[in-house]
Amino acid sequence: VESTLPPKTFDILLSEISRAGLRPGEDVFVSYCPERAMPGKLIDELIFNYRVIGAKDPTSAELSKILYECFVKSEIEITDPLTAEIAKLVENAYRDVNIAFANEVARICEALGSDVRKVRELVNKHPRVNMLLPGIGVGGSCLTKDPLFLSWVSRENGYSPELMNVARELNESMPIHYANLIDDFLRWKNSGSGIVCVLGVTYKGDVADTRESPAKYLIDELMRRGYRVKVHDPIVRESFGAEFYDKLEEAVKEADAIVIVSDHSGFKGMNLRRMRELAGKDPVLFLDGRLIIDEEEAEVSGFVYASVGNLSSLRRIKDEAFALSETISKAPL
């Protein structure tokens, strides 16, 4: 069995085998070897990543190891099925929690007027710190469900986890947070109307996988609030109900806000000046949800740049506009 399992599922499988009149370890040999499959690197993961084999009896363990040694070039660990089940889920829960920490630091930087990229660069100079890059959300079929599997089974057995649940909630909130930010900007600019261009709908750059992508939740929220949403993705044709455009130029045309959701390689070298010429009237928000665009280049191109963990420019133009309106209101007639 390779599919991700909630803890103790393997025991249920063995019980069903026994009920069918077969003896595990004698008539049938069963083990649990959780998959290691990263989209876009499937073959490398199959061959070069370490594997864990969980088995109840030594014969099943040995036969499974012989099978996997035919193609796995890395370490193969033998353990019991429950440990293997938990280990697989903990791997993804660990990543989810660490991403949530980075996202929380990003939100702190936004609140205090700092830049999370600069903070992260300094923090990671410490030899025992490795802060991940924050982003507009977490997607994929594994990170979004595996912590919930672990939390659910743990609750059923007497302990209610807190950290993993809070981390999951924080990561789920990220696309809604930035939908709110875009909404605030467009209410300030256009009294709540406008066009939003979403660049990328896959949950990960250069991978044709939209499962649990933060783009879906961002688009759903923006459309619910009445905005026209245009989508461009060079990898897939999914739009989650918004308008899909094959050409980047058509997607950004007349846009009041542009937001990067997927860090596709093709988005890293975009002609920002040309995009600004095609977009709507000033000011146009460029929200970098994956921290792949140079802030200075975006500003020089004429955009109001904002990113995960850095809202300084957005605050500045609002403050300047407010100051100007105050000056005009106080001017003698």
Residues labelled as active-site residues: 88, 142
Q: What are phi and psi of 54, to 5 degrees?
A: -105, 120
Beta strand pairing call for 195-199 and 76-79: unpaired
Q: What are phi and psi of 264, to 5 degrees?
A: -65, 145
Helices (H) and strands (E) in the chain, counts: 12, 8
Could you give the CA distance from residue 230 to residue 199 in angstroms, rounded to a whole number? 9
Q: What are phi and psi of 224, to 5 degrees?
A: -60, -30
Could you give the CA distance from residue 237 to residue 171 in angstroms, rounded to a whole number? 25
Could you give the CA distance from residue 293 to residue 263 in angstroms, rounded to a whole number? 10
Could you give the CA distance from residue 21 to residue 24 in angstroms, rounded to a whole number? 10
Residue type, 275: M
Could you give the CA distance from residue 279 to residue 45 in angstroms, rounded to a whole number? 41
